[in-house]
C-alpha cells in the first residue's frame, strides 16, 4: 500500500466522553450517529450501501479496508445511508480486475466522513462492554466545545428510518422466464434479495413500505417478501398492522431481518434491543429442525424475543449459537416463515440460500391450490 501523507486530523467523540484522535478520509465536517461495529473481513462496499445501516457510524474490526477497491456492480442499493465510517487503515492503491474506484473517493462523492488511524480494537471493546452508543466524527478539534457536542450526541436518535430509505413508487423486475410473481416490500431492501428471487424465476414487484394490503392483493402475487431495513421495528405501527392483514390472505410470506421482526410483532410477539447487535459475515446459526449449524451474514441491533411467541401460532426455527437469541420463526397459523440473518449474503456465506428454494416451493404449492 502506498504511504498516505499529510492526512488531516479527525476525531471520534463517544457519548460516554471518550475521544479518539485519528486521521480523516472521505468528506470533511461533523456527523452524529449510532456507533456500531461489524466483523466482516470482506464485503465493505456491501456494508456501505446496505440501507439497514441508516443513521449509524460503522466501525470495521478488520484492520485493512479497501484493498480490492469499489465497483458499482456489488452495491446493495443506489446510495449509502451511513453517518460515518471508521477503519484502522485504508488502502489507497487497490488491486482487483473489477475495481472502479477507491473507498476514499466513494466516501467523498457521497459526502460521508471517514476516520482512520484510531485503535479500533479499543473502540470495539468499549462497544462490547458498554453497548452501542451515540457518537460524532468531526474534522474540527472538539476540545473547545466538548460539552456542547456531548449534549448533541446524547440527544441523537435514529428516527423515521424505514420512511427514509424506502422507495416512493413500484418498480418491476422480470427475468427471462418468469414462473412466479413476488411482491417485495421495501423496508430498505438489499439488491441481492431481488436478484436471488429473479435467479429462481420470480418476477419481482418492489413496492414502498406503506403499500396497503389491498394494493398488494390487487397485484395477484404468488408470494410476498418482507425485506431487511433499519431502525427499531416497533417504530412502524402501520406496517405491522398491514402485515397482520396480509398474513390472512394465505399468500406465502418470507421475511428477512427487519421483515422477520415486523412479522413477529404483527403476530403478537415482542422484540428487544441487543447490547451491541450482530453485524458481520461469521455468525453461527443452528437450524433446530435439522440440527445443522450454518455460518451466516447478519446486520441487526434488535431481536425477536423467542419466548414471546404464542406456541399455538409460531415456533422458533433457528437460534444464534453464540448467545441463543432467536434467528428464525416458522408460523403455524399463517403461510409464513422468517429469518433474522441474510440468506442472500452478498458479500458473505451462502450456506442458507436454500431458504429461497423453500419460498419458491411454497409458491408452487400455493399456485396449484388457487
Cross-strand partners of 360: none
| Interval 280-332: pLDDT, tens | 999 999 999 999 999 999 999 999 999 999 999 999 999 999 999 999 999 99
Question: Are 168 and 154 contained in the same domain?
Answer: no
- Residue 145: pLDDT band by 50, 70, 90 thresholds? confident
Full residue range of the structural domain in which residue 283 is found: 162-368
Q: How, if at all, do strands 56-60 and 30-38 pair?
A: parallel
Backbone angles phi, psi at 149, to 5 degrees: -65, -45
- Residue 345: pLDDT band by 50, 70, 90 thresholds? confident
pLDDT of 6 strictly over 70: no
Distance CA 206, CA 144 (A): 48
Residue 3 lies in a domain: no
Q: Do 55 and 81 contact (CB within 8 A), yes or no?
A: yes
* Of 251, 195, 201, nearest in space to 227 by CA: 195
Q: Which residue numbers are catalytic?
A: 257, 342, 344
Domain boundary among 143, 158, 173: 158
How many CB atoms within 10 Å of residue 235? Answer: 15
Question: Are 243 and 287 contained in the same domain?
Answer: yes
User: For residue 6, is the peptide bond before it cis, meaning its omega torsion is within 30 degrees of 0?
Assistant: no
Question: Are 127 and 194 contained in the same domain?
Answer: no
When divided into structural domains, the chain yields a total of 2
The rounded mean pLDDT for the chain is 96
* Of 312, 300, 229, nearest in space to 271 by CA: 300
Q: What is the CATH number of the domain that holds 361?
A: 3.40.50.880
Domain boundary among 111, 127, 158: 158
* Of 41, 138, 44, 164, nearest in space to 99 by CA: 44
Question: Are 153 and 56 contained in the same domain?
Answer: yes
Q: HSE (CB half, 13 Å, CA atoms) of 16?
A: 11
Q: Largest alpha-carbon pair distance within the chain?
A: 69
* Of 336, 320, 337, 339, nearest in space to 328 by CA: 339
Query: What residue has cell string 414502498?
Result: 208
Name, in order, each residue with C-beta under 8 angstroms of 321's C-beta and a sequence gap of 6 or more: 284, 285, 286, 293
Domain boundary among 138, 158, 178: 158
Question: Are 167 and 194 contained in the same domain?
Answer: yes
Query: What residue has cell string 421495528?
Result: 233
Question: Are 137 and 166 contained in the same domain?
Answer: no
Question: Are 61 and 178 contained in the same domain?
Answer: no
Q: What is the CATH number of the domain that holds 20?
A: 3.50.30.20
Give the dihedral sign, CA 120/121/126/132: positive
| Interval 204-217: pLDDT, tens | 999 999 999 999 99
Rounded alpha-carbon distances, angstroms, from residue 213 to 181, 208, 219: 16, 12, 10
Tell me the whole-structure pTM to 2 decimals: 0.96
Residue 1 lies in a domain: no
Query: What residue has cell string 498516505?
Result: 4
Question: Are 193 and 107 contained in the same domain?
Answer: no
Q: Show the 3-state SS of 181-198.
A: EEEEEECCCCHHHHHHHH
In the DSSP assignment, the letter for residue 340 is S
Cell of 63: 484492520
Give the H/E segment covering residue 253. Answer: strand 253-256
Question: Are 300 and 215 contained in the same domain?
Answer: yes
| Interval 229-283: pLDDT, tens | 999 999 999 999 999 999 999 999 999 999 999 999 999 999 999 999 999 999 9
In the DSSP assignment, the letter for residue 211 is -
Amino acid at each position: 500500500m502506498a504511504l498516505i501523507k499529510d492526512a488531516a486530523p479527525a476525531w471520534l467523540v463517544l457519548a460516554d466522553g471518550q475521544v479518539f484522535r485519528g486521521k480523516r478520509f472521505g468528506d470533511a465536517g461533523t456527523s452524529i450517529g449510532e456507533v456500531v461495529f461489524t466483523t466482516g473481513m470482506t464485503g465493505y462496499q456491501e456494508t456501505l450501501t446496505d440501507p439497514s445501516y441508516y443513521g449509524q457510524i460503522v466501525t470495521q474490526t478488520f484492520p485493512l479496508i479497501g484493498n480490492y477497491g469499489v465497483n458499482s456492480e456489488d452495491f446493495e442499493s443506489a446510495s449509502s445511508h451511513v453517518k460515518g465510517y471508521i477503519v484502522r487503515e485504508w488502502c489507497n492503491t487497490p488491486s482487483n480486475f473489477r475495481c472502479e474506484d477507491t473507498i476514499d473517493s466513494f466516501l467523498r462523492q457521497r459526502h460521508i466522513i471517514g476516520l482512520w488511524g484510531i485503535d479500533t480494537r479499543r473502540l470495539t471493546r468499549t462497544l462490547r462492554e458498554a453497548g452501542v452508543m451515540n457518537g460524532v466524527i468531526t474534522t474540527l478539534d472538539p476540545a473547545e466545545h466538548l460539552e456542547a457536542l456531548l449534549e448533541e450526541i446524547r440527544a441523537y436518535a435514529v428516527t423515521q428510518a424505514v420512511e427514509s430509505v424506502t422507495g416512493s413508487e413500484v418498480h418491476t423486475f422480470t427475468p427471462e422466464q418468469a414462473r412466479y410473481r413476488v411482491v417485495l416490500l421495501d423496508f430498505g431492501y438489499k439488491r441481492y434479495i431481488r436478484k436471488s428471487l429473479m435467479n429462481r424465476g420470480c418476477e419481482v414487484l418492489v413496492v414502498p413500505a406503506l403499500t396497503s394490503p389491498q394494493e398488494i392483493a390487487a397485484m395477484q402475487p404468488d408470494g410476498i417478501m418482507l425485506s431487511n431495513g433499519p431502525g427499531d421495528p416497533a417504530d412502524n405501527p402501520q406496517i405491522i398492522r398491514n402485515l397482520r392483514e396480509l398474513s390472512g390472505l394465505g399468500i406465502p410470506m418470507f421475511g428477512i431481518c427487519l421483515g422477520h421482526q415486523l412479522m413477529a410483532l404483527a403476530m403478537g410477539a415482542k422484540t428487544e434491543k441487543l447490547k451491541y447487535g450482530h453485524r458481520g459475515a461469521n455468525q453461527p446459526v443452528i437450524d433446530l429442525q435439522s440440527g445443522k449449524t450454518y455460518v451466516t451474514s447478519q446486520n441487526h441491533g434488535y431481536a425477536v424475543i423467542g419466548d414471546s411467541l404464542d406456541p399455538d401460532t409460531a415456533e422458533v426455527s433457528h437460534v444464534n449459537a453464540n448467545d441463543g437469541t432467536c434467528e428464525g420463526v416458522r408460523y403455524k397459523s399463517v403461510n409464513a416463515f422468517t429469518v433474522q440473518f441474510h440468506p442472500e449474503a452478498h458479500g458473505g456465506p451462502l450456506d442458507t440460500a436454500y431458504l429461497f428454494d423453500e419460498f419458491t416451493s411454497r409458491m408452487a404449492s400455493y399456485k396449484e391450490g388457487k
